[in-house]
Amino acid sequence: MKEVSAASNHERDPRQEAAELKDLVGSILDQARQQGATAAEVAVGSNTGLSVTVRKGDLETVEFHNDRGFGITVYVGTRKGNAHTSDASADAVRDTVRAAVHIAKYTQEDACNGLADAELMAATLPELDLYHPWAIDVHEATALATEAEAAALAFDSRIVNSEGAQLATQRNCHVYGNSHGFVEAVWGTSHSTSCSMIAADEQGLQRDYWYSVGRDHADLEDHIAVGREAARRAIARLDRRHIATGAYPVLFAPPMAASLVGHLLSAIGGTAQYRKESYLLDCIGRQVLRSDITLAEQPHRRKGLASAAFDGDGVATRAKAFVEDGVLASYVLGTYSARRLGLATSGNAGGVFNLDLIAKRRPVDELLREMGTGLVVTSLMGQGVNLVTGDYSRGAAGFWVADGEVQHPVDEVTIAANLDDVYKGIVGCGDDVDARHNIRTGSLLVAEMTVAA
C-alpha cells in the first residue's frame, strides 16, 4: 500500500468553519484597504476528504487531504493584481496582499476592471441541500471498493485486468467576500465510486470504466452495479471492425452530447465574444439550435452538482435560458466580459450552474431505428474544435448501427462537420439523461456528419 498523505478526517461543524473563514476574509479585505487598494475581493476554498483505491484485491492507495487556498484580487483604480496563498498566517496574508497590490500598480489600466455592482450581490441564499457528510472510515471504504472491483472481475472471463476501483468522499467550504461588504459562505459534500476494467480478445485489449457521483452518498448507484457496468462496457468494446468512410447520422451518447453542448457554451461565452474568437459573434436573437431545443440553467437545484447561490463575482444566480426554442437569448457573462461587451452580467462568472437541455425526448431504441445506418459515439479524443470557424473534427470510438440495431464496436475513426450544421441538424434527443454532469442531456442524434475510418 502506498500512503499518499495523511491528515485528520475529523468532522467539523460547517457553520463554525464558515464563520472562521468569513472572519479571515474580512481581515484580508481590511489588509488590502490598509495597503492602498481601492477595492478588493477574496475567494477562500477549504477541502477535506478521503480517497481509497483498490487494484486486483489489494489496497493500493489511501489519501487523506486537508487543503485550503486563498485567491486575493485587488484593484488600484482600474489596475488589477492577483496573488494566491495557502498560508493563513498574518505574515503570509500581509505579504500576499502586498504582492497583489504591487502587481496592480504595474498592470495596464482597464476601465472594465472592478467589482460587480453592489446591488447585484446575492442578498439572500437559497437552501440548496448540498451538505451530506459520509461517516465512512478507511476500512469501510476499502471493503466497498474491493467488492465493486470483485464484481467487475467476475463479470466475464474476458475481463483480464483491472485499473482499480476507487471510493472518494470530500467536504468543502467556499467563502467569497469583497469590499462592498459582501461576505458569504457555502459548504457542500461530494461522494463518488468508480471502477475501470480491461477486457481482451484475439484483437487485443480494450478498456472502459463507470462511475457514480452525488452530493449525498445515499444517492450513489450501488457499488456492485458500478463494477459490473464498468466490466460490461469493456466487454462491449471487443470484436472491433472496420467501417467505410462516408456521411452518416451520428448519435452522441449522453457524456459526449454534454461535451457537444459545452462547445456551444464556449462559443457564446463572454471571453470568446469580446475577443471575437467565436463563429457565433453578435448572435443574440438568431437561431443556433434546432427550434424545439432550449438550454436552461437551474442554479438553485437542490443537491445539484453545480448548484450555486452566487457566481465568482458574488452576483446572485438565477434560473434562465441561454437558448430558448433554438434562439440565442443570452451570452454566458461574468462582470468583466459583460462590461467589455457593453452588456449586463448574466451571473455566470466561473461558468454555468446546472444546465439542462430541454427537448422532446424519445427512447434511444427509437432514435437508433430512425438513424438506420450510422455511428453511436461513446468516447471522443483530440482537441479538433475551432470555435472561430466552427470546424469540428475529433477522433471517436463507439458502435456501428445497421438496420436500426447496434452491430459491432468501432474505434480509431474521425467525425467531422461544422458546429453550426451539427447544432441545427439535431433530429432527436434521447430519454437517457445523464445526471452526473453539470450539463444534463440525453443522447443527441445528428442528421449527418462525415465519418472517416
Residues 197 and 253 in one domain: no
Q: What CATH number is given to the structural domain containing 36? A: 3.30.2290.10
> Residue 335 has which C-alpha cell?
462582470
Last residue within a domain, chosen from 314, 332, 352:
352
pLDDT for res 443: 98
Last residue within a domain, chosen from 328, 352, 376:
352
Residues 417 and 387 in one domain: yes
Q: Residue 135 and residue 194: Cα distance in Å, rounded?
A: 19
Angle between helices 223-236 and 138-153 (to 10 degrees): 30
Q: What kind and span of H or E run contains 257?
A: helix 254-267
pLDDT for res 11: 64
Last residue within a domain, chosen from 326, 352, 378:
352
**Domain-located, residue 339:** yes
**Domain-located, residue 35:** yes
> Residue 342 has which C-alpha cell?
457593453
Residues 123 and 208 in one domain: yes
pLDDT for res 15: 84
Q: Residue 186 and residue 22: Cα distance in Å, rounded?
A: 11
Residue pair 339/400 in contact (Cβ under 8 Å)? The answer is no
Q: Residue 5 and residue 13: Cα distance in Å, rounded?
A: 23
Of the candidates 233, 299, 279, 234, the residue with the CA atom closest to the CA atom of residue 389: 279
Residues 15 and 80 in one domain: yes
Residues 122 and 86 in one domain: yes
**Domain-located, residue 90:** yes
Distance of CA 361 to the CA centre of its chain: 23
pLDDT for res 383: 87
Q: Is the pTM of this model over 0.85?
A: yes
* Residue range(s) defining the domain that contains residue 305: 279-352
Residues 287 and 395 in one domain: no
Count of other CB atoms within 10 angstroms of residue 130: 22
Residues 21 and 116 in one domain: yes
Residues 46 and 30 in one domain: yes
Angle between helices 90-106 and 14-34 (to 10 degrees): 50
pLDDT for res 4: 41
Residue pair 255/233 in contact (Cβ under 8 Å)? The answer is no
Residue pair 71/21 in contact (Cβ under 8 Å)? The answer is no
Residues 174 and 146 in one domain: yes
Residues 148 and 17 in one domain: yes
Residue pair 351/332 in contact (Cβ under 8 Å)? The answer is yes
Number of domains in the chain: 3
Residues 75 and 135 in one domain: yes
Residues 225 and 245 in one domain: no
Residues 6 or more apart whose Cβ sits within 8 Å of residue 328: 268, 280, 283, 284, 285, 286, 287, 288, 322
pLDDT for res 14: 81
**Domain-located, residue 269:** no
**Domain-located, residue 311:** yes
**Domain-located, residue 379:** yes
**Domain-located, residue 347:** yes
pLDDT in tens, the chain (453 residues): 344 433 344 466 888 889 999 999 999 999 999 999 999 999 999 999 999 999 999 999 999 999 999 999 999 999 999 999 999 898 999 999 999 999 999 999 999 999 999 999 999 999 999 999 999 999 999 999 999 999 999 999 999 999 999 999 999 999 999 999 999 999 999 999 999 999 999 999 999 999 999 999 999 999 999 999 999 999 999 999 999 999 999 999 999 999 999 999 999 999 999 999 999 999 999 999 999 999 999 999 999 999 999 999 999 999 999 999 999 999 999 999 999 999 999 999 999 999 999 999 999 999 999 999 999 999 999 889 999 999 999 999 999 999 999 999 999 999 999 999 999 999 999 999 999 999 999 999 999 999 999
**Domain-located, residue 70:** yes
